[in-house]
């Protein structure tokens, strides 16, 4: 059953069409990765799905309700969004930032509830940040800061989380740490994860479903082993590659070089 569905999305920036009649279904409880070259519309699609950009045409449904007709507070109770390279005030502690995740569940006439405290504590524990709760966010490493943002999103208790390149600027160890963290929440708490990625092998290893964009349209969509192919990499990314499969039957991409048309 799709938790989110987009029908014939069109987005124009000035005289350029960025998304062209794009339709997509996101199944509940799955990890969905969006891939594509620079300028293919990946981040724009994520912003439209999160209602940060209004499409020029098309409809998005969140659990069968028109996203455009749902209040912002109700959306925030169901959906958490992490943009690329989010920034926090320099003096904010880890706990302070994670507590922001509870705002959609609070009323203006009361302060934090016991349930808010429980959810914040749970998010800190689940992300391994409980011992860092009083640390200032700006003093943390890049991987630690990204975990704080994910903890904030989890404190919202959303059904779906949208992330724009969550591993950008991280070394390989911290990249895998973030990917494993998201996979754990998907498996243990049935959290639906939709993310834009640049690393094709991360998408292949961790995704249930992969969407590959080219010039604002879906070139291929399906299981990683079905859509991450030598043909796709040649046609969409302009590279020659060899695909092997790991013990979990997930594709592993080995880049051989540029295609002749890219040289």
pLDDT of residue 109: 55
3-state secondary structure of 227: helix
As a whole number of Å, the CA-based R_g of the chain is 19
Q: What is the pLDDT of residues 99-143, one digit of tens each?
A: 999 999 887 656 678 899 999 999 999 999 999 999 999 999 999
pLDDT of residue 1: 76
For residue 56, give both structure tokens: 């020029």
pLDDT of 29 above 80: yes
pTM higher than the cut 0.85: yes
Determine the Cα–Cα distance for residues 34 and 211; give it in Å rounded to an integer.
5
Confidence band for 88, pLDDT divided at 50, 70 and 90: confident
Determine the Cα–Cα distance for residues 22 and 106; give it in Å rounded to an integer.
35
H-helix segments, the chain: 42-49, 72-78, 94-99, 114-126, 142-155, 172-189, 200-206, 224-227, 230-232
Structure-model confidence comparison of residues 91 and 200, the more confident one = 200
pLDDT of 157 above 70: yes
pLDDT of residue 111: 66
75 CB-near residues (< 8 Å, 6+ apart): 51, 62, 67
pLDDT of residue 184: 97
Determine the Cα–Cα distance for residues 102 and 122; give it in Å rounded to an integer.
12
8 A C-beta contact, residue 146 and residue 170: yes
Mean pLDDT rounded to a whole number for the chain: 94
3-state secondary structure of 36: coil
pLDDT of residue 215: 96
Instruction: Taking residues 167-188, report their average pLDDT.
Output: 95
Q: Which residue has the tokens 């540029």?
A: 258
Domain boundary assignment for the chain: 88-156
């Amino acid at each position: 059953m799709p938790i989110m569905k987009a029908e014939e999305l069109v987005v124009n920036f000035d005289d350029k069409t960025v998304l062209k009649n794009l339709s997509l279904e996101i199944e509940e409880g799955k990890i969905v990765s969006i891939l594509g070259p620079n300028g293919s519309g990946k981040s724009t699609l994520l912003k439209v799905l999160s209602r940060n950009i209004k499409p020029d045409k098309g409809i998005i449904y969140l659990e069968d309700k028109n996203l455009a007709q749902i209040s912002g507070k109700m959306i925030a109770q169901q959906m958490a969004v992490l943009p690329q390279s989010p920034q926090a005030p320099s003096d904010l502690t880890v706990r302070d930032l994670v507590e922001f995740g509870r705002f959609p569940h609070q009323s203006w006439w009361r302060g934090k509830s016991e349930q808010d405290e429980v959810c914040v504590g749970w998010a800190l524990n689940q992300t391994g940040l409980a011992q860092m709760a009083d640390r200032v966010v700006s003093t943390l490493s890049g991987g630690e800061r990204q975990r704080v943002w994910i903890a904030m999103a989890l404190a919202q208790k959303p059904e779906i989380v949208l992330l724009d390149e969550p591993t950008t600027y991280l070394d390989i160890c911290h990249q895998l740490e973030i990917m494993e963290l998201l996979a754990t929440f998907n498996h243990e708490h049935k959290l639906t994860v939709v993310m834009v990625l640049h690393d094709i092998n991360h998408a292949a290893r961790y995704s249930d479903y992969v969407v590959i964009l080219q010039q604002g349209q879906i070139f291929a969509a399906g299981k990683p082993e079905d859509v991450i192919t030598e043909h796709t990499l040649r046609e969409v990314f302009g590279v020659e590659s060899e695909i092997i499969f790991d013990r979990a039957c997930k594709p592993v991409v080995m880049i051989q070089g540029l295609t002749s048309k890219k040289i």
